[in-house]
A and B are shown apart, each in its own frame.
Chain A
């Protein structure tokens, strides 16, 4: 199972000091945090994509390219890449390029984005959000899997004999997750292609996440990619830890109360009880996180939101130390218990290359080891 963090990339005033970092300070802090992810033994760093302040990451592959050069092991990912408003041709090229630079340590999570004006800024209509996500992804896949593409769709200018460049590393496209908070059509899309489904999880009650993941698993099986338990599931999570639970609550409360997303609304206690947010000791984080399996089943990727709401870099790095030293080793051990051998790991570049080779070697119509690889 993979563990990591996802960053929204908000530039927020620290409510305890009143200080707002500069854009460059914030961007450099994100790059430092990503390197810390590798240092403390986690597996994945994912960045958001936004095109409006107070968010800074408008150009994820630029950031991830830098992080690729500074790290050796972690998977570089996104949370999320805007499949609605970005040109699928540019996504195909940017992420294939990043694959080559990062020696394949790349996957991506597609999302629709939720800021109304971004659609018209990029020449689109938010009411077409789902059709855009479907059509653009259909094209993105073809750009990665076919050398020359003829294309005509509803939203993008047609392509005749277009070849995106560079070609995916080793002829294998990056693994794709489809991210959603509450849209069943996106879970259906992920299931149809046998791709991963990443449930945001942190902005809705667990009961909704359970419903969405259950739906995705059922449809994954329906489309013949494997059994429901073999579907590839990722979850978000959100934690703040100190050795003593009370210290964590005291320190995090002003950040919670003023956070851009949920600030000035429900109390920290209400939000904690209604969403996966956990503020407390490492042991409390371990217990809560292990509980996720109770309602989504054995899953492949757990990403935490730790870097947001104006938390200073020093604090975020301390959080990562706690996560890497005290929490994730226990989670790895406990999640491995009673995990059926038939539940796959999240696909990596190496596993996809191996699966593609196996598929190529297999006689026509023969079943292949991994349902993920052929899609």
Chain B
């Protein structure tokens, strides 16, 4: 039987054009698709630049509901089979836009999502932000975060900050982990409509009303 096409959502919070954050996101997406193709699994990659919905994200914070444009992005991201989330490191953490996007989505909507986290920054001194700030956020959201997080400092795009485990090596490793998680996951078949109710729900709070 032919394998079902898996969708990979890529969320990138880079701000400039062109953006190294977007470049890293593209590399991870290509590598993950390639790994899944090796397993005979076709993929569809959907890339979302948060800059395109930046005002919508902030409006959602203020009004409590997403605009149709943002709603479409949220639906696509939370309904995917896998997530590649990439942010620049600003002031020791994920960019505010990146954090805000994940703040406005339903906190149950990434449960069990196979995820790779990645970040860019000027120097490698910020690399731990991935593990002390960004990984805990996805853990809170109950995403399944691949062990390898990919950090690219400016110099990684040249000769490399690390000549032993180069950026392409790290991307490939993370892509392999994500591909395995996606291949094993049936998550997108069981995406939960936030407007549905648990089967065990009792509208009386468990009481037998004496009508």
A interface residues, Cβ below 8 angstroms from B: 131, 134-135, 137-138, 141-142, 145-146, 153-154, 181-182, 184-185, 188-189, 191-193, 203-205, 208, 211-212, 215, 261-266, 270-271, 274-275, 374-375
Residue pair B68, A274 in contact (C-beta under 8 Å): yes
Q: Which of B35-49 contact A (CB under 8 A)?
A: none
> Which single residue of chain B is at the shortest CB-CB distance from A136?
B205
Given known contacts A203-B64, A266-B62, A271-B63, A146 and B210 CB-to-CB distance under 8 angstroms:
yes
Kindly list chain B residues whose C-beta atoms are within 8 Å of the C-beta of A263. Answer: 62
In the complex, are the beta carbons of B211 and A375 less than 8 A apart?
yes
Least Cβ–Cβ distance between B70 and chain A, in angstroms: 10
* CB within 8 Å for A131 and B205 given contacts A212-B195, A266-B59, A266-B63: yes
* Shortest Cβ-Cβ A-B pairs, 5 listed: A134-B205, A265-B62, A192-B203, A135-B205, A138-B207
Residues of chain B lying within 8 A (CB to CB) of residue A212:
195
Kindly list chain B residues whose C-beta atoms are within 8 Å of the C-beta of A141.
209
B211 touches A134 (CB 8 A): no
**B-side contacts of A264, CB under 8 Å:** 62
13 inter-chain pairs at a CB distance below 8 angstroms, sorted by A residue, are: A153-B205, A184-B197, A188-B197, A189-B203, A192-B204, A193-B209, A203-B64, A205-B65, A263-B62, A264-B62, A265-B59, A374-B211, A375-B211
Q: Point out the residues of chain B lying under 8 angstroms from A205, CB to CB.
A: 65, 68, 71
Question: Whose C-beta in chain B lies nearest to the C-beta of A271?
Answer: B63
- Judge if B58 is at the interface, Cβ distance under 8 Å: yes
- Measured CB to CB, the closest approach of chain B to A248, in angstroms, equals 21
CB of B63 to closest CB in A, whole Å: 5
A134 to chain B, nearest CB (A): 3
B196 CB-CB contact with A under 8 Å: yes
Determine whether B17 belongs to the interface, using a CB cutoff of 8 Å to chain A. Answer: no
CB of A238, distance to nearest CB on chain B (Å): 13
Is there a chain A Cβ closer than 8 Å to B202's Cβ? yes
- 4 extra interchain contacts, Cβ-Cβ under 8 A, other than A181-B64, A203-B65, A270-B59? A135-B207, A205-B68, A270-B67, A375-B211
Q: Which residue of A lies closest to B196 (CB)?
A: A184
Residues of B within 8 A of A (CB): 58-59, 61-65, 67-68, 71, 195-197, 201-207, 209-211
In Å, the complex CA distance between A141 and B208 comes to 12
B63 touches A188 (CB 8 A): no
| Complex: chain A residue closest to B202, CB-CB | A134
Residue numbers in A under 8 Å from B202 (CB-CB): 134
Whole-angstrom CA separation of A137 from B211 in the bound complex? 13
Q: Which residues of B contact A265 (CB under 8 A)?
A: 58-59, 61-63
Given A208-B65, A212-B195, A274-B65, decide whether A185 and B203 contact each other with a Cβ distance below 8 A. yes
How near does chain A come to B54, taking the closest CB pair, in angstroms? 13
Minimum distance in angstroms from A219 CB to a CB of chain B: 9
For residue A131, which residues in chain B have a CB less than 8 angstroms away from its CB? 205
Among candidates A138, A204, A266, A270, residue contacting B204 with C-beta atoms closer than 8 Å: A138
Assess whether A188 is in contact with B203, with CB atoms less than 8 Å apart.
Answer: yes
Tell me, in angstroms, the Cα distance from A185 to B200 when the chains sit together: 11
CB-defined contacts of B207 to chain A, threshold 8 Å: 134-135, 138, 153
Known contacts A184-B197, A211-B195: A266-B67 contact under CB 8 Å = yes
Enumerate chain B residues within 8 angstroms of A193, measured Cβ to Cβ.
203, 209
Q: Give Cα A24–Cα B119 distance, bound, in whole angstroms.
A: 55
- Knowing A135-B205, A138-B209, the reply to whether A215 touches B195 (Cβ < 8 A) is yes
Give the residues in chain B near A208, CB-CB below 8 Å. Answer: 65, 195
Are the CB atoms of A203 and B210 closer together than 8 Å?
Answer: no
Once bound together, how far apart are the Cα atoms of A184 and B192, in whole Å?
13
Residue of A nearest to B55 (CB): A266
Cα-based distance from A266 to B63 in the complex (angstroms): 8
* Closest CB in chain B relative to A145 CB, distance in Å: 8
Give the chain B neighbours of A192 by CB distance below 8 A. 203-204
> Using Cβ atoms and an 8 Å threshold, which residues of chain B touch A137?
205
Residues of A within 8 A of B197 (CB): 184-185, 188
| Chain B nearest Cβ from A210, distance in angstroms | 11
Contact status of A184 and B195, CB under 8 A, knowing A134-B203, A262-B62, A265-B59: yes
Inside 8 A of B203's CB, which chain A residues have their CB?
Answer: 134, 185, 188-189, 191-193
Closest to A219 in B: B203
Residues of A within 8 A of B210 (CB): 142, 145-146
Please determine whether B63 and A262 come into contact, CB atoms closer than 8 angstroms: yes
Which chain A residue shows the least CB distance to B64?
A203
Contact indicator B211/A203 (Cβ below 8 Å): no
- Which residues of the partner chain A approach B62 to less than 8 Å between Cβ atoms? 262-266
When the two chains form their complex, are residues A204 and B65 in contact, meaning their CB atoms are under 8 A apart?
yes
B195 touches A185 (CB 8 A): no
The closest CB in chain B to the CB of A223 belongs to B203
| Residue numbers in A under 8 Å from B68 (CB-CB) | 205, 274
Nearest B residue to A212, CB-CB: B195
Chain A residues with Cβ under 8 A from B205's Cβ? 131, 134-135, 137-138, 153-154
